[in-house]
Amino acid sequence: MKATGARKPAGRSPRKGFADSVLRALAAEKMIGIRSGKTHRPTGVWVVVVRGRVFVRSWNDAETGWRRAFQEEPSGAIRVGERTVRVRTKPVRGPVLLEAIERAYAEKYDTKASLKWVRGFRVPWRRATTTELLPA
């Protein structure tokens, strides 16, 4: 007898994540636009892809900023090049994953000018703002 099971949709990465083309674009982009809901204004953020998953981190975590807006309304959109992609968010926990995300930031944003920001992302309160983006 043949075993049956769910097939992976074409062009999708494991775990029902973003399409492979979106992951490639996110991995290549240095800055993306992000907004919560339909009325929050877009904000530029750095993005990294780790193990096929997409992560962003807030620099200042302002009360009116993108991360807090997502806490109130957990769906929104990102702008990747010319493409707008609907997303939802979830907080990230776990020291192993957080370390992998920090390494990804250091590898992707490796210019002398970026070093200040990469180091700043390691501050505990900024580390706590790490957010995973998921397709909506």
pLDDT band at 15; cut points 50, 70, 90: low
Q: Which residues pair with 78 in a beta bridge?
A: 34, 85
pLDDT value of position 94? 94
Q: Report pLDDT digits (tens) over 40-58.
A: 889 999 999 999 999 999 9
Q: Report pLDDT digits (tens) over 105-131.
A: 999 999 999 999 999 999 999 999 999
Q: Report pLDDT digits (tens) over 65-114.
A: 999 999 999 899 999 989 999 999 999 999 999 999 999 999 999 999 99
Run of H or E residues at 70: helix 66-72
- CATH 3.30.565.10 fits domain 20-129: no
pLDDT value of position 9? 44
Which SS3 state, helix, strand or coil, does residue 55 take?
strand
Return d(Cα 46, Cα 27) in angstroms, integer: 10
pTM of full prediction above 0.75: yes
Return d(Cα 135, Cα 124) in angstroms, integer: 27
Domain ranges in the chain are: 20-129
Return d(Cα 51, Cα 56) in angstroms, integer: 14
